[in-house]
């Protein structure tokens, strides 16, 4: 069966605005030599299975967050999406996700593995910039900035 045989999943329609290639800039990251430093990279979003799922690929051009691949889908009876993440270190995670009114959120509560995470991004009015940040918590009460990230549309 080819990808063309599967129709666009209507439960993912609001994510169509993400499809394309994006320039990525990471700042304020504790893993960088200085909080004033930044690193750049790329991300892309593309439909899988003719639109059954959305795939996100990302990589940085210097040491930083690892190259990763995420598949986004949704159970039609659930309000949230599921994001299945895998990176070049062999780390695999499942996150919940929503995308409502131009606000993109992902989160996972996983204190034992090794910390919880949350992401919030705001899509610009022209749909060409996403300004976001990742946070982490070791107790689900006290959250700290992991890093800021800006996606700027290329295509």
Q: How many CB atoms lie within 10 A of CB 29?
A: 20
User: What is the per-residue pLDDT for 24?
Assistant: 97
Q: What's the topology of domain 3-134?
A: Lipocalin (2.40.128)
DSSP conformational letter for 66: P
Question: Bridge-partner residues for 98, per DSSP?
Answer: 105
**75, 74, 73, 68: which is closest to 134 by C-alpha?**
68
| DSSP class per residue in 86-143 | EETTS-EEEEEEEEETTEEEEEE--TTSS-EEEEEEEE-TTSSEEEEEEEEESSSSSE
Per-residue pLDDT tens, the chain, 155 aa: give them.
454 556 789 999 999 999 999 999 999 988 887 767 899 999 999 999 989 999 999 999 877 788 999 999 999 898 899 999 999 999 999 999 999 999 999 999 986 678 899 999 999 999 999 999 999 999 989 999 999 999 999 99
């Amino acid at each position: 069966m080819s990808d063309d045989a599967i129709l666009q999943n209507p439960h993912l329609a609001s994510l169509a605005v993400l499809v394309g290639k994006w320039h990525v800039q990471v700042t304020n990251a504790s893993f960088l030599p200085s909080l004033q430093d930044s690193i750049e990279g790329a991300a892309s979003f593309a439909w899988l299975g003719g639109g059954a799922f959305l795939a996100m690929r990302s990589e940085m051009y210097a040491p930083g967050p690892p190259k990763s691949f995420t598949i986004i889908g949704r159970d039609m009876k659930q309000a949230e999406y599921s994001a299945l993440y895998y990176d070049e270190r062999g780390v695999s995670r499942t996150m919940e996700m929503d995308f409502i009114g131009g606000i993109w959120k992902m989160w996972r509560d996983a204190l034992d593995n090794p910390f919880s995470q949350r992401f919030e991004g705001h899509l610009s009015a022209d749909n060409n910039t996403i300004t976001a940040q990742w946070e982490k918590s070791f107790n689900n009460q006290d959250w700290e900035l992991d890093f800021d990230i800006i996606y700027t549309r290329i295509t």
